[in-house]
Structures are given as C-alpha cells and as structure tokens.
Amino acid sequence: MTTQTDTQKHGFRLGTRRSPLAMAQAEEARDRLAAAHGIDPAHIEIVAVTASGDRIQDRALAEIGGKALWTKELDAWLAAGEIDFAVHSAKDVETIRPAAFTIGAILPREDVRDVLVGAESIRALPQGAVVGTSAPRRAAQLLHARPDCTVVTFRGNVATRLAKLAAGEADATFLAAAGLKRLGETGTGHPLDEEDWLPAPAQAAIMIECRADDARTLGFLAAVDHGESRASVLAERALLAGLGGNCHSPIAVLTRLDGDGLAMRAALYSPDGAERVEGAARFAMDDPEGPARLAADLLARAVPAIAVHFAGPA
C-alpha cells in the first residue's frame, strides 16, 4: 500500500499530451490524487509530450494512423519507466492495448453530450450548411439527420476549431461539452440532447494507465477510481471490441446506470449517414458479455454499407 510518507519521499511522474485540454485533464488527475492522499500536488510531477496526433493537423485521424497517434509516445515513456502513469481521454485510447499496461483509474465521467457551435440545433442549421468535423460518428449522424449538409475536415484543439469557424471555413462545428467545461468555456455553443444525439464511446471520461506490474502506482491510483464511470467506460470499450470498429467506423453509444446494472443504447452508421442500425441492452456492471451480445446483434442486423466498416470480435 502506498503511504503518504512514501509518496512525499519518492513522488510520482504523470505523463500527458501537451495540448491545452490534455494538460487540464492532467491537472485534474493530479489534484484529485493529491486530495485523496492528503499530499501536496507538487509531489506529482506533470511530464508533457507533443503527441503525433497533435503535430499532424491537416488530415483526418483515421487517415494517418488512428488512435495510436495519441498514445504511442506516452506508451514508450511508460514502458521505459520514465513516467509512472499516463493520463488520457478515454475515447482516444485504442480498444486493444499492450498487456504490459492496465487501467489504474477512471475519473468521474463528465457531461457526455456534444455541443453544436454555429446553430441552436441540428434542425436549425441552414439548408446546405457546411459543417466541420473530423469524427466519422459526428459526420454520419449529421448526414443521417440532415443529408443536405456538407461535411469538411476540422482538426485541432478547441481554440483552433473555433478560429476556423470564425474564419468562415464552415457554418458550424461540434465540440465535446466535457472538454469545454474542463477548459472553462461552458458558455460556448448549444448542447445536443444525448438521447437523440448519441455520444462517442468513452466520451467525457479521463483514463489513467500504468504498468500492470507496478503495485505501488496501482495502489496510489485506486483512491480516485470511480466505480460507475469505470463500469460504463469498460462496457463501451467491450462494445467496441465486439464490433471490431476502428477510426473509420461510425459508432455512437449512450450508457446509463440502471438500478444495479447498466442500460446501453448504440447505433452504427454508414459513413455517408444513409444507413443506420440501433440496438439496446441491459446487463450487470461487471458483465463484458452484455456489450458483446449487443455488438453481435447490431452486426447481425447491419446492412453491408455499415457492416463493411466493422470487423467483428477479435
């Protein structure tokens, strides 16, 4: 067990990407850990890296290597022992991870909704609106609801995307409510009802990974692990694993606490939004087969234009 004296003597090194939102998430993790253990936050050193995904901004993520572009530098540091744990946006972490790493904690999940900037609602977008997003899920959901709209690629941090919008590169764009809140920009845009506009898998959750054999760090992180958030995030990751989706695969999912279990709704789309299949399931919090069964059901009912973008269970 990690004691307060041990932590103050030896400290911990927290790895994170260098983007403003990633730094805000790292600071939240540091402060929660410090409060939980009754230590000075200075005993947790934040070590920042510029991830490949942050360096390459002119192409969609799916075209340049997928989610690994957010994790590979931190993975190398973690494997080498240069950091004790890494803080990630859970939605950006690949479904299949190296066996040497494990999830030490999931912090309390924030608002899962998307925010539309540039119009009050999807319905209120002008006819033929140009909407900026690099997320296949957002693009497919938009085109399903509004096939008259056009999607253009928007990448970059929150400030970059808002600047592109202000420069007239698009009529509207999407941002995550959780990211805006963590950056102190809660007045930006119009939140979309998560029951009508399903979020991305693991959206709004902060994931902390460490080495699987590092008992000291695992004990330290356990103090901030939020059980309900962990259960919903792991369920959504199990759904992804059952679907065999990747960065090209438009999938949306909403998971709610339902008594002592979880209720999950998920939808798969063709990239052009023309086709959609939806399903729902309820299962125990610790039942990975529940999401797998929902994945199998969705794939069984998916038309070829959807199914081709999902490989099925590994």
Contact between 303 and 275 (Cβ < 8 Å) = yes
Strands 101-106 and 206-211: antiparallel
CA angle 255–260–266, rounded 5-degree value? 20
Residue ranges of alpha helices (H) inside the chain are: 4-10, 20-37, 52-55, 68-80, 136-145, 158-166, 177-182, 215-221, 227-243, 289-301, 304-307
Say which of 75, 84, 92, 111 is annotated catalytic. 92
Contact between 218 and 210 (Cβ < 8 Å) = yes
Contact between 236 and 252 (Cβ < 8 Å) = no
How far, in Å, CA of 284 to CA of 83, rounded? Answer: 35
Active site residue 92: yes
Contact between 139 and 270 (Cβ < 8 Å) = no
**What residues contact 103, with CB distance under 8 A and at least 6 apart?**
207, 208, 209, 230, 234
Contact between 147 and 274 (Cβ < 8 Å) = yes
Active site residues: 92
